[in-house]
Structures are given as structure tokens and as C-alpha cells.
Amino acid sequence: MRASAGEHGETEKGARSVPGRGRAPRRPLQPLTSRHGRPAGTVVDIDGVKVGLAELAIMAGPCSVESAEQILRIAHEVKEAGATILRGGAFKPRTSPYDFQGLGKVGLEYLLAASRETGLKVVTEVMDPRDVELVAQYAHCLQIGSRNMQNYPLLREVGRTSKPVLLKRGLSATYREFLLAAEHIMAEGNGQVILCERGIRGLSTELRFTLDLSAVPYLKGETHLPVIVDPSHGTGTARLVPAMSRAAIACGADGLIIETHYSPKDSISDAAQTISTAEFAELMRELATVATAVGRKCRCQ
């Protein structure tokens, strides 16, 4: 996965020495993320599912992959409701080291099995540059989580793959920092980047995060990359997910990534912000109407 020639070269002595890592790529005339000269916008292709066209890209699934049965059942239910991409964490970044850290490789296998049975594409997080090659064998789209938005070795590593990357905004990242994180990926040669607004920290309110929807039209004005929204982390509150999903579409988001589970209260992680698959199906019908109102399309039953 790591380009050993240009990167390590002949000065490399041992397996882990990385003398060339400090070398910066050459600065292009325009940032690679810049909208200038690419008015049509980039369409990211997740193994056939397009992100950035009139049809919205809806990613849905549980916070964590818990078992083969769980992920398969949710995959069937969200596909039925109209989603085309399955989300689910196999490698989980957890604030406490003692919390469930995900099923790891086994989780990836369950995701791929669910994908094969339903036709949904898989997006899942990768946290460690050493796992990029592994995760890329299973996932159709690599997710970089908020905590890792400025983990540059990881950004470079996914930038060297040919997989689309879903890049989540850091909790206190400015728009410029967000775009420059995408630039780190693109500078390595991978132009298939989707930006995801997922709530910021700042003023402490009664909610976990402040979903900054102004980011959507702002970013769409600055970059040709697709922009999606995560209303689940962005509000931390299941009852607000439908309203904020509608708002995201109304202000121009190219898609959504939503945490859903057939039984949210039994979810191992993020139960408070997870909607039921029944609520998700209902939400999809609402989104179809809003999408039409703003000239987009949303597949639903």
C-alpha cells in the first residue's frame, strides 16, 4: 500500500525508518480542492454508487458492527427503505480505552457479507495507517473520523489508495482546515474525496455538538467535492435526526450518513443518537419530498 520507492528510497535502512516522509508535495497553482475550473463538481464513484449527482447518496447503518446477524438484518432494512450504502464501525475510536473497540477484521468480514447479500456498498472507518490496506480489501469507501481529520500519516495513506474517502470534519476545524485535510489526501493522488459535516464543538448547549449546516453551502461554493451531512453525531439526539436530515438536504447536501438500528436501545454504542430502522424508512419518505422541492432525487419505497 505504501509507495516504497519515492517515499523511502535508497536511504532507508530498516523497515520502519522513514527519512523521506518530511518531503512536501509540490504546491499546485490552485488548491486541488478548489472549485475554480471545475464548475461541474466532482462525482465520487463508490463502486457504482455515485455521490455528487442529483440523486442523493444515503448511507445508513449501525454505529458498530455487532454480529453477522445484526449487520445483515440492518442492511436489508435500510436497503428496503432506499439506502444504497451501508455504514458500520469495525475499528472504533473510543474515548475510553476500556470501552468496546469494535470487532476489527471480523467486523469487516460481516460488512462484506452483508454487502454481497444486499448489493449495498460499504463505508467503514480506518484509524491506523497500518490498517488501510486491510480495510481497503473489504470497504468500498474509507471513512476518516473526526478525531483523525488532521492525522496526516493516515490521510496520506488513504490518499495512496484508489478507494473513495469519506472525510469527516474535526470537532473544531475551520472550513479552511477541513479543505486542507482533503488536500492532504488529494496531494497523494486520490481525488475521490467526500466531505462530511458532523457537528462542531464550540458553544456548549444542551446538545453534544452543534451541527453547522452553513458549512454545506459554504463548502459547495469553495470546492468541487461532494458534501454530505451526519445528523446523528451532529445532534447526538435521535429525536432531532429527521428534522436535521431534511434541513441538510434543503441547504444542498449531496447525501446523508445516518445511524440506525432495528432496536436502538440495544445498540452497543451511540444509542442516544440512533434512530430505528422503522423511523429511518419514514424519514426516507420525507426526504424524497424535500429532495424534489430542491431539484434533487431520493430513492425510497
Contact residue for a second copy among 9, 119, 189, 217 (CB under 8 A): 217
Site for a second copy in 170-189 (CB under 8 A): 171-172, 174-177, 180, 183-184, 187
The region that residue 52 occupies, defined by phi over 0 for left and psi between -120 and 50 for alpha, beta otherwise, is: left
How far is C-alpha 27 from the chain's CA centre?
A: 26
Q: Which residues contact 51 (CB under 8 A, 6 or more apart)?
A: 43, 44, 45, 57, 164, 194, 226, 228, 254, 255
Contact residue for a second copy among 160, 191, 218, 299 (CB under 8 A): 218
Strands 49-51 and 141-144: unpaired
Contact between 263 and a second copy per CB under 8 A: no
Q: Judged by CB under 8 A, how many residues of this single chain contact a second copy?
A: 95
Contact between 55 and a second copy per CB under 8 A: no
Measure the CA–CA gap between 215 and 200, rounded to whole angstroms: 11
- DSSP label of 91: S
Nearer to a second copy, 205 or 301 (CB): 205
Q: Amino acid identity, residue 248? A: A
Contact between 140 and a second copy per CB under 8 A: no
Nearer to a second copy, 175 or 262 (CB): 175
Q: Name the residue with cell 445498540.
A: 267
Contact between 200 and a second copy per CB under 8 A: yes
Nearer to a second copy, 60 or 244 (CB): 244
Contact between 191 and a second copy per CB under 8 A: no
Site for a second copy in 69-108 (CB under 8 A): 90-107
